[in-house]
A and B are shown apart, each in its own frame.
Chain A
Amino acid sequence: MKASVRQYARSVMELVADKSEAEAKALIAKFVVFLHGRQDLNKVEAITEELGRLYEIENEEIKAELISARPLQEAAKKQLVAYLQKRAGVDTVNLQESLNPDLLGGFILRYNGLVIDGSLKNNLLKFKKQLSN
């Protein structure tokens, strides 16, 4: 029976849980050979991606991307992180910050397929739509 990407990722998680680094390395090497045997090596990329997601769920941690026109103030960032913690029900939020002057002002926050758009550009576009209606 074919195993799904999620099943592979979950088994790797369970395999390496509470193992030392050396043990884990050996186990992972074995896992790669096992994958090769099942002709599933092409799924490696998807499995690592899924592993990252599982790790986040396990550790109540998420990665989020914050794009803003200018560097945001610490207080504002804290507010956003607090909101995300509540919205996603996690303890830790790892923010990846980047700047994009095209937004004109405000910010865009992305995590896990969700986009929170508070940019000036989006608001102006919406205003344009409202005016033309």
Chain B
Amino acid sequence: MSSTKDFIVEQIKRQIADFKAEVEESSVGRVLKISDGIALVSGLTEAMMSEILLFKSAHGEVAGVALNLEENLVGAIILGEFANIKEGDEVVCTKRILSVPVGEALVGRVVNPLGEAMDGKGALNTTEFYPVEKIAPGVITRASVNQPVQTGIKAIDAMVPIGRGQRELIIGDRQIGKTAIAIDAIMNQKGQNMKCVYVAIGQKESKVAEIVRKLELAGAMEYTTIVLAGASSPASLLYIAPYAGCAMAEYFLDKGEDVLIIYDDLSKHAVSYREISLLLRRPPGREAFPGDVFYLHSRLLERACKLNAENGGGSITALPIIETQAGDISAYIPTNVISITDGQIFLEPDMFYKGNRPAVNAGLSVSRVGSSAQIKAMKKVAGKMRLEAAQFRELAAFTQFGSDLDEETARKLERGKRLYEVFKQDQYQPLSVDKQVVIYYSLINGLVDNIPVEKVREFEAGLYKYMDLNSDVSKLIIEKKELDAEIEEKIKTVVNNFKETLDYLIS
């Protein structure tokens, strides 16, 4: 007992001996005005842009960020509880630019935009910090996109392929499956050497809890970080959330790893920035957004990149999400983000309600760089398939009223119907690239033509099971990544063999 006591006393003595009393110099100001999470502070002549400020209220310290530096004033947003801060309270500069903890410890966790744990699994043990705002990598350090991100969604991987380092916008009305695409993409990254960051901006916390549960069930939380700024968080946290998420992704980028980051969604981010800007009395422009709302998103999405080999060869692939009102993609924020990204996946309500889910509109969706990242086998089948899809859309509109069709047109229409049937895919059912190649190959080569349209999905599911049991074609496609005569022959054989077991073929 006494030895323990001695030990404690010894420890305290050592602590006291180690402590060095020093004179502290700090820049101090006073709160002039505080409202709605925005504070105007006098003094602070040495404050830096986006420096962390400490508000010393009667109930403890609250952090804030300097956003407006004026002649005699500093405008700051408060990150946290601002109800206790009063006029006249002391504000101290910390000489630290806003930064978040980064590192391996964040993988599998749910954190807020300041990097504090939100999942009840205890504090994060991190030692490294990255600044929230960072200039994007320059042109010298970048390489062109050349590796695919397999989302596991047939319609996307074939028609609007995404490459590592690309920025692909997911755009559509509310409740149409935008988040579903993003979550499926995360789930399909298992075993693909990809870290994922999902940034929830202004989402309902119940929805995020459901997402976390689904990811956990699928084993996807092993490589995923969730940054959560819920609907009840102050606008300041919503505003920094995507930048914080990007900083966490940049840690892995610097280690030469590939990261997939999802911003869900940037419309709410723009709205939170509008709130902050109007409260800071910055002049409003179109739709009351401030003048720099374009820069708000361009500087964020520019941080998505593919670095060249000398710089580690890592990548950040960004999938921003934008919610439109009644399918209006010509509103302010949607046009801005469309022009920033390298393409968009447009989800259409009409298709969604007709049961074509995911409701990817093949006409308005594009990928400007992704095709160079497709594997050769996929490129070969996708090119022809895109043509079939385009021809079908044209003919379907043209022949809506006519009844007499020549044989060629009827054949194209029938195949188109089957193609759109193949595009249908259930949620949380991502499909590996080899199986996608097989089904598209069968389709464009007429192997599916004698399957009734309503049986196509049943046929598809059966075929995948049959393939896994009776053929090594999947393995060959993944190994060789291209379609040679041998593989083509094997696909034909396996599909025909499977068809022989069916009783619903059209004769």
- Provide the bound-state CA to CA distance between A117 and B27, in Å: 11
Residue of A nearest to B16 (CB): A127
Residue in B16, B22, B24, B45 whose beta carbon sits within 8 Å of that of A113 in the complex: B45
B71 contact set on A, CB distance < 8 A: 4, 6
Residue interface mask B8-42, A partner, CB < 8 A = 1: 00001001100101111111110000000000000
In angstroms, how far is the closest chain B Cβ from the Cβ of A103? Answer: 13
Interface residues of A in 66-121 (CB under 8 A from B): 110, 112-118, 120
Q: Is the CB of A115 within 8 A of B28?
A: yes
Q: Does B256 belong to the interface (CB within 8 Å)?
A: no
In the complex, what's the smallest C-beta–C-beta distance from A91 to chain B, in angstroms?
Answer: 20
Q: How far is the CA of A114 from the CA of B43 in the complex (A)?
A: 9
Q: A113-B43, A113-B45, A131-B15 are in contact. Are A123 and B25 (CB under 8 A)?
A: no
Q: Is B132 an interface residue (CB 8 A)?
A: no
Q: How large is the interface on A (under 10, 10 to 19, 20 to 34, 35 or more residues)?
A: 10 to 19
A127 to B45, CA, bound (A): 28
Interface residue ranges of B71-107 to A (CB < 8 Å): 71
- Tell me which residues across on chain A come within 8 A of B44, comparing CB atoms: 113
A61→B447 CA distance, assembly (Å)? 92
Alpha-carbon distance between A113 and B28 when the two chains are bound, in angstroms: 5
Q: Is A20 an interface residue when CB atoms closer than 8 A count as contact?
A: no
> In the bound complex, do residue A122 and residue B24 qualify as a contact, i.e. CB atoms below 8 Å apart?
yes
User: What 0/1 readout, one digit per residue, does chain A (28-49) give for beta carbons within 8 Å of chain B?
Assistant: 0000000000000000000000
- Binary interface profile of B, 348-365, with partner A (CB < 8 Å = 1, else 0)? 000000000000000000
A130 touches B15 (CB 8 A): yes
CA distance A106 to B28 in the complex (A): 19
**Residues 102-137 of chain B, each 1 if its beta carbon lies under 8 Å from chain A, else 0:** 000000000000000000000000000000000000
Q: B27: which of A6, A113, A120 is its contact (CB, 8 Å)?
A: A113
Bound-state Cα–Cα, A117 to B71, Å: 26
Q: In chain A, what residue has the closest Cβ to B42?
A: A113
Query: In the bound complex, do residue B25 and residue A114 qualify as a contact, i.e. CB atoms below 8 Å apart?
Result: yes
A114 to B29, CA, bound (A): 8
Q: Which residues of A contact B22 (CB under 8 A)?
A: 118, 123
Find A117's partner among B23, B29, B43 (CB 8 Å cutoff): B23
Say how far A43's CB is from chain B's closest CB, in angstroms.
13
Q: Which of A6, A110, A117, A130 contacts B24 (CB 8 A)?
A: A117
Taking a contact as CB atoms under 8 Å apart, the answer to whether B24 and A116 are in contact is yes
Whether B24 lies near A118 (C-beta < 8 A) is: yes
Closest to A107 in B: B23
CA distance A115 to B91 in the complex (A): 11
Q: How far is the CA of A110 from the CA of B26 in the complex (A)?
A: 10
Q: How far is the CA of A115 from the CA of B27 in the complex (A)?
A: 6
- In the assembled complex, the Cα of A81 lies from the Cα of B438 at a distance in Å of 83
Across the interface, do B25 and A115 meet the contact criterion of CB distance under 8 Å?
Answer: yes
Give chain A residues whose Cβ lies under 8 Å from the Cβ of B23: 116-118
Bound-state CA distance A127–B43 (Å) is 28
The 6 A-B residue pairs with the shortest CB-CB distance, nearest first, are A113-B43, A118-B23, A123-B21, A115-B28, A117-B24, A116-B25
Which residues of B does A touch, CB under 8 Å? 12, 15-16, 19, 21-29, 43-46, 71
Chain A interface residues (CB < 8 Å from chain B) = 4, 6, 110, 112-118, 120, 122-123, 126-127, 130-131
A-B contact pairs, 5 of them (CB 8 A): A110-B28, A113-B27, A114-B45, A115-B25, A116-B23
Given contacts A110-B28, A126-B24, 7 further A-B contacts (CB under 8 A): A114-B26, A115-B28, A116-B23, A116-B24, A117-B26, A120-B21, A130-B15
